[in-house]
Amino acid sequence: MSKRFSHKLYGLIGNPVEHSLSPYMHNAAFSRLNIDAAYLPFLVEKGKLGPAISALKRTGISGFNVTVPFKSECIKYLDRIDPLAKAIGAVNTVVNKDRKLIGYNTDCTGFLRSVKEDLRFSPKGRDIFLLGAGGAARAVAFGLAKSNAKTIMIYDIMPLKVNALITDVKKSFPAVDIIASGFKDMPRLIQGCRLLVNCTPVGMRSKDPLPIEAKLLHKGLKVYDIVYTPLKTRLVKTAEGKSIKAVNGINMLLYQGVLAFELWTGRKAPVSLMRKELMDNLK
């Protein structure tokens, strides 16, 4: 079927989507590079993901992002899945190539780029502690395993999710040392770690407590909080108060978008412009 639009169409599917900053950075990037394209948010009702993706495909959409709660569910509606995305079990970027929808996970690589650039930290040979075992944690854990982290330790209030994540990481990276942490084990395990990553939503609300006890934040640790609103969560503020290097997840959002843009267009993304758009539109 021929495309209904003279320009290329890109978008975001999820529920909710109205809060997303992605349209700002992608539309600005299209404009800067004189690409005749538009990026729109598409709210998809739960239970209607299949028909929604089918409808987008019929329009000739050139690509789209996927956000919660559809990053895993969308896989069954795509034609092909990149091996890393398949292993992670989540897709956040889809490319329409020759009428075939191909799924990728740019969250994983976006996180790694942000950690290396923002914290000046290389996971290779390091002990790292993850808080949470949900979708974001899956992308982070696979990225760390791919980067040859020495040991990855994971705590979540739902142990079954931790065990499932460990099993899946081991399938792709059998040599990696990845273990579950109990609540009582956290003080001992974090003491030997060099990076703490908060992969939970704790910190998004002003009344949220710290995701871990402040006393566990030690001088040899660096902190990465994937939460980016507010820009300085209680975890980031507490770490900085102890002279510990800490950053939020705004550049993980940026770099996953940069990678998606480059997959879609084959062009080098205007990173500085996209970062400015994110920062200018944060509420």
Catalytic residue among 71, 76, 100, 161: 71
Tokens found for residue 248: 């939020």
CB atoms within 10 A of CB 231: 12
* Adjacent-strand bridge partners of 211: none
In this structure, is the dihedral angle defined by the CA atoms of residues 230, 211, 245 and 144, taken in order, positive or negative?
negative
71 catalytically annotated:
yes
3-class secondary structure for the chain? CCCCCCCEEEEEEECCCCCCCHHHHHHHHHHHCCCCEEEEEEECCCCCHHHHHHHHHHHCCCEEEECCCCCCHHHHHCCEECHHHHHHCCCCEEEEECCEEEEECHHHHHHHHHHHHHCCCCCECCEEEEECCCHHHHHHHHHHHHCCECEEEEECCCHHHHHHHHHHHHHHCCCCEEEECCHHHHHHHHHCCCEEEECCCCCCCCCCCCCCCHHHCCCCCEEEECCCCCCCCHHHHHHHHCCCCEECCHHHHHHHHHHHHHHHHCCCCCHHHHHHHHHHHCC
Q: How far apart are CA 260 and CA 277, in angstroms?
A: 16
Residues acting as catalytic residues: 71
